[in-house]
């Protein structure tokens, strides 16, 4: 280990050992991955000492221009005209509105906004660009019915969807107050199997395994989502977009022990180079899944609270240090 490198959070390390021993981890099929995701997210949510309590939450259906989409609405304790459209992570194949209850509740309560979680279609049953199409349709639908500030947000694959939707909203002339991207996927070109692409992002080798998300897992996710060609399409690789100028102001949180760290950092650099206001925070001791581990690690809880605070700043126009 380099002298200046921070140590991996010991509480998260212990959590990952317990997670690996969970009976649901044995089934490595797509169905098994979905069951495991629900199980571990429910357990991590139950560990929260002071869980955020929204004023209300309910399921609904968004009647978008491309068809009905299931969604969950989470309301903040104090009435607000701000809205966040949220896209869950899970490698485009897993995750749902149950696995990300903690995430949506935190953003509603701590960012002070109505959060609308989108139950977008999953691969492999619905490969690329189904997830992107659903998330964009939901955002355009919400934008058409709301007058207050609107942001998009997501973690991991959901962060990729938020970033790509933000670019599409720019192109559609839909103004967003911001985009919150937590440990986002930003470059799927090469499907995480191309050595030349992987060499651009040292964290892919440095953090390939042992910290939750693995490079083997990312290759599997990309293969199942099946973006065309090399995966250069900006609808799945927002870093590969020809132009980032005019994208919504961004908050990007990355983690030191995440194979996706460097591509997330690179997206912050690309947005800044295009003149987009960016708040970028890298949490040196945390891993890819930190946003949902507030009950596991005090450091993860602080980082997740900061992400919500940063999102609140985008929605209110009040900058945070």
Catalytic site positions: 156, 258, 288
Q: How far apart are CA 58 and CA 50, in angstroms?
A: 21
Pair 252, 278: CB distance under 8 Å: yes
Please report the beta strands in 189-277, taking only residues with DSSP state E, as ranges in sequence order.
250-257
9-29 residues labelled b (16+ CB within 10 A) or e (exposed) = bebbbebbeebeeeeeeeeee
And the tokens for 27?
């089934």
And the tokens for 102?
């903690």
DSSP string for 198-223: HHT-THHHHTSSSSSS-HHHHHHHHH
Whether the ω angle into residue 124 lies within 30 degrees of 0, i.e. cis, is yes
Residue 67 DSSP one-character state: E
Given the DSSP bridges, would you call strands 250-257 and 178-182 parallel, antiparallel or unpaired?
Answer: parallel
Task: Compute how many other C-beta atoms are within 10 angstroms of the C-beta atom of residue 171.
Answer: 11
């Amino acid at each position: 280990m380099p002298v200046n490198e921070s140590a991996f959070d010991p509480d998260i390390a212990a959590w990952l050992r317990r997670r690996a021993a969970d009976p649901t981890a044995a089934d490595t099929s797509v169905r098994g991955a979905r069951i495991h995701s629900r199980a571990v997210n429910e357990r991590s949510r139950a560990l929260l000492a002071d869980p955020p309590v929204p004023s209300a939450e309910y399921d609904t259906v968004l009647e978008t221009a491309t068809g009905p989409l299931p969604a969950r609405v989470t309301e903040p304790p104090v009435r607000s005209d701000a809205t966040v459209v949220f896209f869950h992570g899970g490698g485009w194949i897993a995750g749902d509105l149950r696995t990300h209850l903690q995430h949506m509740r935190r953003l509603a309560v701590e960012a002070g906004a109505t959060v609308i979680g989108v139950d977008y279609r999953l691969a492999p049953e619905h490969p690329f660009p189904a997830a992107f199409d659903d998330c964009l349709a939901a955002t355009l639908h919400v934008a058409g019915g709301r007058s207050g500030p609107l942001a998009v947000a997501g973690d991991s694959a959901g962060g990729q969807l938020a970033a790509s939707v933000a670019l599409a909203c720019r192109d559609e002339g839909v103004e967003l107050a911001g985009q919150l991207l937590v440990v986002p996927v930003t470059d799927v070109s090469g499907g995480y199997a191309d050595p030349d692409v992987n060499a651009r992002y040292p964290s892919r080798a440095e953090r390939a395994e042992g910290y939750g998300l693995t490079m083997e897992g990312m290759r599997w996710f990309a293969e199942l989502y099946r973006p065309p060609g090399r995966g250069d399409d900006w609808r799945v690789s927002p870093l590969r977009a020809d132009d980032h100028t005019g994208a919504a102001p961004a908050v990007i949180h990355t983690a030191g022990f995440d194979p996706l760290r460097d591509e997330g950092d690179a997206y912050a650099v690309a947005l800044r180079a295009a003149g987009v206001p960016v708040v970028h925070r890298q949490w040196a001791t945390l891993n890819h899944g930190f946003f949902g581990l507030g009950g596991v690690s005090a450091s993860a809880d602080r980082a997740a609270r900061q992400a919500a605070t940063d999102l609140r700043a985008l929605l209110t126009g009040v900058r945070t240090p």
